[in-house]
Structure 1
């Protein structure tokens, strides 16, 4: 019997590969992609991708998009409350499982499991504990295509923004950068591959750089760079 499942969709390579695994597996019914969007900016909260581009991407995949809209600067309490509200709506609609593309961040996995356990939804982690270099190689060999849309400036130079992922590009990463950016070194936008009905047509726009307070040390800031992605006209 198929498990009614929704996918926590980031729009990047890890989500795309995890979705590919599960669609190929065939015993899980995935009929909804869920993404957290900043309602003030109309952008994906995680890495600033425009909502219009996200919508074009999910249309190209062919699975309906659902969103959780958060305010401009949500607190963790606000985020948790909005997530819980949405999850309870999905449970009422018959969903029993949810998918995440996490690979090896133990604290994040425990946080997700602790959040979903009392809500009666079972999280699934298809990429968990897989070698990140091998995952990126598989991603590229399968014909997936993605570009870097966000970097942590302390880990990668701005020249990496807007670059398409490749084995050659991976070899240029500094030694302390995970091949899949699992520690937040970079985020990606996937625009083509075996889960797509057709590639997403887009253009790379201007680069934007911003600084945020470090949650673990308020005296320091974290600087990020974004490449603005626009739909091709």
Structure 2
């Protein structure tokens, strides 16, 4: 749930993609109990109305946040977005969050082992007067993947980079059978961008979402996106 007034634990914002790593980061933060997650922050591409990389529908993102018992804040970016535009939208969203939760100056990310991405996030946050947290960083991704599944997380591959993984994996359930079928060069958590996921159940949610699977399309000649729709 959102941070209660007077809670002695420092509030933290969580970067939210709708996928397994951000969802597991929420679970980890709540399990550790040394901070209170105040809200989720997602980046939405205007016009598409989807999470910018994963392609998760905006209404699914809000359904996930509702199941997690947290408000969802949006950093909105245009379809053709350069880095400066993204950073401005991110900064505006952080400023809005700080206005709602006084003392909020930390944001957590679900990155696992990409040091360059971590360094970029840390530098950006520092320029904005924020601290970046990485609760999962350095985890063994093979063990982490199986821990997520064993804990009851239910998620599907919603985007596959067909230059790294066969398009036939798009839409598949993220389960032990899928892990066993992944080529050896593919990271079990897709940390190198091989795939992205959309979560519908897990210990971070109060209830399962029962998402409906839609069509799979190839975009930019490379990315196979499988659509998942919010419950009716």
With the shorter chain as reference, the TM-score category is: over 0.9
Cα distance in 2 between the residues matched to 1:138 and 1:119: 34
Q: Which moved more, 1:79-88 or 1:127-136?
A: 79-88
Partner of 1:98: helix, strand, or coil? strand
Aligned length: 223
Partner of 2:196: 187
Partner of 2:229: 230
1:165 maps to 2:164: no
Conserved 8 A contact 1:91-1:121: no
Cα distance in 1 between the residues matched to 2:30 and 2:231: 28
Partner of 2:125: 116
> Deviation of residue 168 (structure 1)?
1.6
TM-score computed with the length of structure 1 as normaliser? 0.92
1:154 maps to 2:163: yes
Partner of 2:91: 84
Q: Cα deviation per residue 1:65-92 (whole Å; 9 max; x = unaligned)? A: 1101111111111111111222233334
Partner of 1:174: helix, strand, or coil? coil
Q: Cα deviation per residue 1:119-165 (whole Å; 9 max; x = unaligned)? A: 22111100011100010011011111110000001111122111111
> Deviation of residue 118 (structure 1)?
2.4
Cα distance in 1 between the residues matched to 2:60 and 2:203: 19
Partner of 1:7: helix, strand, or coil? strand
Partner of 1:62: 69
Conserved 8 A contact 2:201-2:208: yes
Which of 195, 202, 205 lines up with 2:211 in the alignment?
202
Conserved 8 A contact 2:107-2:133: yes
Conserved 8 A contact 1:44-1:50: yes
Q: Cα deviation per residue 1:85-109 (whole Å; 9 max; x = unaligned)? A: 2223333442121100001111100
1:74 maps to 2:81: yes
TM-score computed with the length of structure 2 as normaliser? 0.92
Identify unmatched segments of 5+ residues in structure 2. 1-7
> Deviation of residue 170 (structure 1)?
0.6
Cα distance in 1 between the residues matched to 2:57 and 2:93: 21
CA RMSD, aligned part only?
1.2
Partner of 1:228: helix, strand, or coil? strand
Which of 115, 135, 141 lines up with 1:126 in the alignment?
135
Cα distance in 2 between the residues matched to 1:60 and 1:90: 20
Conserved 8 A contact 2:211-2:228: yes
Partner of 1:103: 112
Runs of 4+ off more than 6 Å = none
Conserved 8 A contact 1:2-1:28: yes
Cα distance in 2 between the residues matched to 1:83 and 1:15: 17
Structure number having the greater strand percentage: 1
